[in-house]
Structure 1
Amino acid sequence: MVIDAIDREILRKLQDDGRMTATALAAEVGLTVAPCHRRLKDLEADGVISGYRAVIDPASVGLGFEAIVFVTLAQVDRATLDKFEALVSANVHITSAQRLFGDPDYILKVMAEDLSAYQQFFDNALTVLPGVQRVSSTLVMKNLKPGSGLPL
């Protein structure tokens, strides 16, 4: 699929407000409703738009503690990587995870209620992941730009 300027504008608007109606979206991007709705459905069908979700303030739901965790694995064979990645992906406290080139092997974003809850998570969940050699954390003092959209 080729993404043109109108598609990019649709994507920009939806990143700002994913609940925008097709009518409002069409008006914002200078289209009538039918062609705007068709483009939106095409973007969804082609996987350009992979989903919609609510953005929730972590502190409002008791998750005011955020840590960035660096993980180095002792072994990087396929079986270990697959197990490690499956457990990381399934853990609800790990809200973001990237595999990196170089050292460390992974960077994780972890949300917890407070320092004590994070310490328990660190001891009981992070250090026991398959293949883990080293885990280090840095605590987030202030989140300046949470979950921003793509630069479209």
Structure 2
Amino acid sequence: MDDMDRQILAELQNDGRLTVTELAARVGLSLSPCHRRLRELERSGAIRGYRAVVDSDAVGLTFDALVFVTMRQEDRTTISAFEQALTELPQVVQAQRLFGDPDYLLRVITADLPAFQRLYDENLATLPGVQRLSSTLVMKHVVHERPLPA
């Protein structure tokens, strides 16, 4: 990964809809070398995909909560079952396993408080190995969806 690759990544993080021609012009490369570098970044996994960033408020998903999970059991089977179950809950938009206590941090987005309560009671509280859940509401996003540093 060199400076040119970093420039390509920075441009695509700011606008993933750039054509290869536009991208080449922005980073100062001719079309063929830019295209080769782009394909190599995709092949290597540095670029994992392309997607639209959707405003949750605009689509009626206005309730944003952080849920801290402390596990009762942390054996391989329980952790695997817990993490697999998380992947099946579309309202869990981010999940990180942490060192220390709590064990996991989840970002959950729902339409409203009743929808969050149903998810909490019917799904999150019943996940394999969960000892305790603690949640807090997101008041405001100060830094959100920021591109990775170059």
Using the size of structure 1 for normalisation, the TM-score is 0.97
SS, match of residue 119 in structure 1: helix
* SS, match of residue 121 in structure 2: helix
Which residue, 110, 133, 136 being the options, matches 1:112? 110
Letter of the 1:37 partner, please give it.
Answer: H
For the residues of structure 2 that align with 1:132 and 1:121, how far apart are their CA atoms?
A: 15
Gaps of 5+ in 2: none
The Cα offsets for residues 24-73 of structure 1, whole Å up to 9 and x where unpaired, read as 10000000111001000000011110111100000111101100110000
Name which of 136, 139, 146 aligns with 1:138: 136
Rounded Cα–Cα distance in structure 2 between residues aligned with 1:149 and 1:25:
17
Partner of 2:7: 9
Tell me the equivalent position of 2:58: 60
Kindly provide the amino acid, as one letter, of the partner of residue 35 in structure 2: H
User: Is 2:100 aligned against 1:102?
Assistant: yes
State the one-letter code of the partner of 1:92: P
For the pair 1:89 / 2:91, whether they are aligned, the reply is no
Per mean C-alpha deviation after superposition, the further-off stretch among 54-63 and 140-149 is: 140-149
3-state DSSP of counterpart to 2:81: helix
Match of 1:128 in 2: 126
Cα distance in 2 for residues equivalent to 1:148 and 1:122: 28
How far apart are the structure 1 equivalents of 2:48 and 2:21?
21
> For 1:71-90, what aligned pairs fall within 5 Å after superposition?
71-90=69-88
Q: Secondary structure at the match of 2:128?
A: coil
SS of the residue corresponding to residue 127 of structure 1 reads helix
Gaps of 5+ in 1: none
**How many residue pairs align between the two structures?**
150
Aligned to 1:36: 34
Deviation readout 1:82-138 (Å, 9 max, x if unpaired): 000001122100000000010000000000001111111111111000000000001
For 1:93, the aligned partner's letter is: Q
Match of 1:22 in 2: 20
| 1:147 counterpart letter in structure 2 | E
Code of the aligned partner of 2:97: R
Q: Secondary structure at the match of 1:108?
A: strand
